[in-house]
Amino acid sequence: MKYRAAVLTVSDRGYAGQRPDESGPQLEKDLAASGLGFTVVARRVVPDERERIAAALTAWADEGISLILTTGGTGFSPRDVTPEATTAVIERPAPGFTEAMRQESRKITPHAMISRAVAGIRRGSLIINLPGSVKAARECLAVVLPALPHALDKLAGDPTDCGRG
């Protein structure tokens, strides 16, 4: 296990048991199947409530989990507060991840412009907001996945140079 990861599904209906969490388990499978050394050590479903989201993100980051993915709560609906909760707990923004996801998603759907997802660093953890639908979450994970090992190694203190010849 090279990288410890956690997946937080943000969904009122999922939390209430009115809808199964499909995105969280799928993201866990995709991380494991990537061959990049990810092991999901925690997965949880919380309602669309800033305090609950922030508490889960803070706890996992403070436990030293390398990568924390959220799925859901990034759109325009009144209860979509995942970006606000994430912004409240991160110490440094990492906008390149969400910029790349929106750029690539825009090639698939104009609805990519509705995403308010954010990404950032808390302590030694990288937190990235992904969309709530299985399809969109998988597409966005595929966009950022190639950059994650390097980013996480650097976050963990890897002193090697980033540039190549």
What global pTM score does this model have? 0.97
Boundaries of every domain in the chain: 3-155
What pLDDT digit, counting tens, does each position of 44-98 carry?
999 999 999 999 999 999 999 999 999 999 999 999 999 999 999 999 999 999 9
CB atoms within 10 A of CB 97: 24
CA dist., res. 131 & res. 59, Å (int): 22
Is the CB of residue 114 less than 8 Å from the CB of residue 75?
yes
- CA 61 to chain centroid, in Å, comes to 12
pLDDT of the residue at 133 = 96
Beta strand 3-10 with 67-71 is: parallel
Give the CATH number of domain 3-155: 3.40.980.10
- What is the DSSP-derived secondary structure letter of residue 95? H
* Mean of pLDDT over the chain: 96
Supply φ then ψ for residue 80, to 5 degrees.
Answer: -75, 95
